[in-house]
Amino acid sequence: MAILNILRYPDPRLHKVATPVTVFDAKLEKLVADMAETMYDAPGIGLAASQVDVHEQLVVIDISETKDALVAYINPEIIWASEEKQVYDEGCLSVPGIYDGVERHAQIKVRALDVKGQPFEVEADGLLAVCIQHEMDHLLGKVFVEYLSPLKRNRIKAKLVKEERGMAREAQLRAAGRRF
């Protein structure tokens, strides 16, 4: 297994729409395992393949306290959503350190395939429903900050770009220091 690089907002690759998975093989199983390891290491409760620059319809989720209830949702689709909505404070591994309220369906029913290509359905509410909807947004090229006001979104973008520049500059200085 390997820790994968998580794309950071506002990376334009986060806006690429994922395509359906068509091949269920050892390569897909390895991707699921690598995504799970990456998610747990981050640490997070969900990760979409789009966030690791693999633009296929695949998400991994584990909302358990013990981190032993991983589920891979391949080619997921919401087949029912409640009219009732709820607001949850969401965060994202691609938008580190930022949390804000997003309104989503309170209950959903999802149809997906497992890593072997077998279909399954899940009814979800609470945190699981929020997490599934959040990760499925990534497959459509949407990041949760796009639900926020343009002012908030621009502040977040500016903050993350500044942090990225600072990290790049630190890396340059460390590299330069090793040369002497």
Establish whether 134 is an annotated binding residue: yes
Q: How far apart are CA 32 and CA 138, in angstroms?
A: 16
Tell me the HSE value of 161 on the side-chain side, using a 13 A CA sphere.
9
HSE of 95 in the Cβ direction (CA atoms, 13 Å)?
23
121 has catalytic annotation: no
* Residue tagged active-site, from 29, 90, 121, 135: 135
Binding residue per annotation — 131?
no
- 55 carries a ligand binding annotation: no
Of 107, 112, 138, nearest to 125 by C-alpha is 107
Phi, psi of 88 (to 5 degrees): -120, 145
Q: How far apart are CA 47 and CA 31, in angstroms?
A: 12
Per DSSP, the three-state class of 60 is strand
CA dist 117 → 40, 46, 85 (Å): 24, 20, 31
- Which positions make up the binding site for Fe cation? 92, 134, 138
- Which positions make up the binding site? 92, 134, 138
Catalytically active residues are: 135
